[in-house]
């Protein structure tokens, strides 16, 4: 009798665990998007949607070539004209060749550089068709003459036909190690 009770109890527990597992495997039900009224007006109106991951690849390749010092094709990632707002507030709106020359000059001031990705996401604006890549990177620049700069960048890239058309750069100091 004791054996029968243990077998029945084990079967009951097993069936309960299976039901729980089946419930956990079910995907969450998606609710229709509710229209949200924001408490503040935004200058840039946007309804975000998932973007094209190929845009992330393009931005990562651009950054990889910069870090590796491969400047010969850096202009191939850029649209015909590019608008950049740098972390220090400097702004440039120029043609591809001028922007590429500036990037090359900055990189040539370095002996080397290294970069690691924290995150990157592709986002589209359903309201006007803009495509964006937002990335967070940890970057170190080793300048000629011995200066080292270590920062965390957040950069927003507006993409047009797979090319970088606009960049907004923000910088965060690297937190001190404890």
List per-residue pLDDT tens for the chain, 178 residues long. 444 433 444 444 445 555 554 555 666 566 666 778 889 998 988 888 999 999 999 999 999 999 999 999 999 999 999 999 999 999 999 999 999 999 999 999 999 999 999 999 999 998 899 999 999 999 999 999 999 999 999 999 999 999 999 999 999 998 888 8
Positive or negative torsion for Cα 26, 53, 64, 99: negative
Instruction: State in words which class domain 48-173 has.
Output: alpha beta
Inter-residue contact 99 to 166 (CB < 8 Å): no
- The structure's pTM equals 0.78
Count other Cβ atoms within 10 Å, centred on residue 108. Answer: 10
* pLDDT tens digit sequence for 63-89: 999 999 999 999 999 999 999 999 999
Q: Calculate the alpha carbon distances from 163 to 21, 45, 56, 132 in Å.
A: 46, 22, 11, 11
Residue 155: which of 165, 167, 147 has the closest Cα?
Answer: 167
Count other Cβ atoms within 10 Å, centred on residue 164. Answer: 22
Positive or negative torsion for Cα 94, 96, 101, 103: positive
Q: Calculate the alpha carbon distances from 13 to 10, 18, 24, 86, 101 in Å.
A: 5, 9, 17, 61, 69
Tell me the domain boundaries of the chain: 48-173
How far apart CA 59 and CA 42 sit, in angstroms, is: 26
């Amino acid at each position: 009798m004791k054996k029968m009770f243990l077998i029945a109890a084990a079967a009951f527990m097993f069936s309960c665990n299976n039901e729980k597992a089946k419930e956990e495997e079910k995907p969450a039900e998606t609710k229709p998007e509710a229209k949200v009224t924001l408490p503040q007006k935004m200058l840039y109106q946007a309804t975000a949607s998932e973007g094209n991951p190929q845009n992330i690849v393009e931005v990562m390749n651009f950054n990889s070539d910069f870090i590796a010092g491969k400047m010969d094709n850096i202009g191939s990632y850029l649209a015909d004209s590019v608008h950049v707002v740098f972390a220090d507030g400097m702004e440039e709106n120029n043609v591809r060749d001028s922007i590429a020359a500036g990037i090359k000059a900055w990189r040539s001031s370095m002996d080397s550089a290294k970069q690691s990705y924290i995150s990157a996401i592709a986002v589209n604006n359903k309201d006007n068709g803009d495509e964006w890549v937002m990335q967070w990177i940890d970057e170190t620049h080793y300048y000629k003459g011995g200066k080292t700069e270590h920062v965390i960048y957040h950069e927003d890239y507006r993409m047009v036909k797979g090319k970088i058309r606009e960049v907004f750069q923000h910088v965060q100091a690297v937190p001190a190690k404890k």
